[in-house]
Amino acid sequence: MRSKIVAGNWKMNNNNKESIQLIEDLKAAIKNEELSNTRVIVAPTFVNLATSISAANGSSIEVVAQNMHQAKNGAYTGEISADMLKAIDVKTVILGHSERRTYFNETDASLAEKVDAILANDLETIFCFGELLEDRKSDNHFAVVESQLKNALFHLEASAWKSIVLAYEPVWAIGTGETASPEQAQEMHAFIRSIIEKKYNKEVADGVSILYGGSVKPANAEEIFSKPDVDGGLIGGAALKVADFTAIIKAI
């Protein structure tokens, strides 16, 4: 059975002290929650990963990275390798976030290399993708999502998909307060599962967790999560407030 996941992408927020505090608060808030088959994840910035991992120690909170470089090591000033992440016990890395694609020129081709590096290092990825507003307005959203997945992931063997979590994040819903409706999310998630089934098989398609991201808040989480192909959320702004993030976890 695929896992339910609530993941907080902290983006470029929280210094070291704030990161530790948020994890401590979250630990206390979910201590007595029944989280069967549900993973709770937070993604602090690189510089705060090690102390965040220590802070989360002994709890069920997983601490993951927001990005990773594809090369093993070398002259890539400012970048972080899989080896470096593994050495501090990071097991999962977010890749392909629309902010990385937009502001840091990440492409389907470079993301395919990053995904290969994830697999070569026995890591897991939460792989993000989603259409722009103009794609949706021109009714191109299914084609855009299909090409993002094909270009970055469909070269993988079926067996690799146990290390992949998908996060559908329509760009027009990120940080805008405008969410996809639960029906729009379900429609896209079902489409994603159908193209994975066509390319691979039903077992792979049914096994992959597909998260929705884009202005998920306590007020809308339960309805979005109630859809059969929505396996949880990748949360931005609301993950920075312990009460909101906890409410979203409870919604699942």
**Which residue has 């897991």 as its token pair?**
124
Retrieve residue 115's tokens: 């995904």
Which of 235/251 has CB closer to ligand 13P? 235
Q: How far is the CB of 178 from ligand 13P (least distance, A)?
A: 9
CB under 8 Å to 92, separation ≥6 — which residues?
A: 41, 62, 64, 65, 123, 124, 125, 126, 165
What span, in angstroms and rounded, lies between the C-alpha atoms of 192 and 142? 9
Residues forming contacts to ligand 13P in the complex (CB under 6 A) are 9, 97, 169, 174-175, 213-216, 234-238
| In contact, 70 and 116? CB cutoff 8 Å | yes
Exactly one of 62, 99, 106, 169 is catalytic; which is it?
169
**Residue 187 is among the residues annotated as catalytic for this protein:** no
CA atoms within 13 A on the CB side of 152: 27
Q: How far is the CB of 75 from ligand 13P (least distance, A)?
A: 30
Q: How far is the CB of 167 from ligand 13P (least distance, A)?
A: 7
Exactly one of 97, 99, 106, 189 is catalytic; which is it?
97
Which of 102/159 has CB closer to ligand 13P? 102
Which of 205/251 has CB closer to ligand 13P? 251
Cβ neighbours of 206 (radius 10 Å): 13
Residue whose beta carbon is closest to ligand 13P? 236
**Residue 169 is among the residues annotated as catalytic for this protein:** yes
Which of 96/163 has CB closer to ligand 13P? 96
Q: DSSP character for 46?
A: G
Retrieve residue 240's tokens: 């920075």
**Sheet holding 92-95: strands in order across?**
61-63, 38-43, 4-9, 232-235, 210-213, 164-168, 124-129, 92-95
Which of 170/186 has CB closer to ligand 13P? 170
Q: How far is the CB of 163 from ligand 13P (least distance, A)?
A: 19
Q: How far is the CB of 233 from ligand 13P (least distance, A)?
A: 8
**Which residue has 């890591």 as its token pair?**
123
Retrieve residue 157's tokens: 């063997």
| In contact, 172 and 136? CB cutoff 8 Å | yes
Catalytic residues: 97, 169
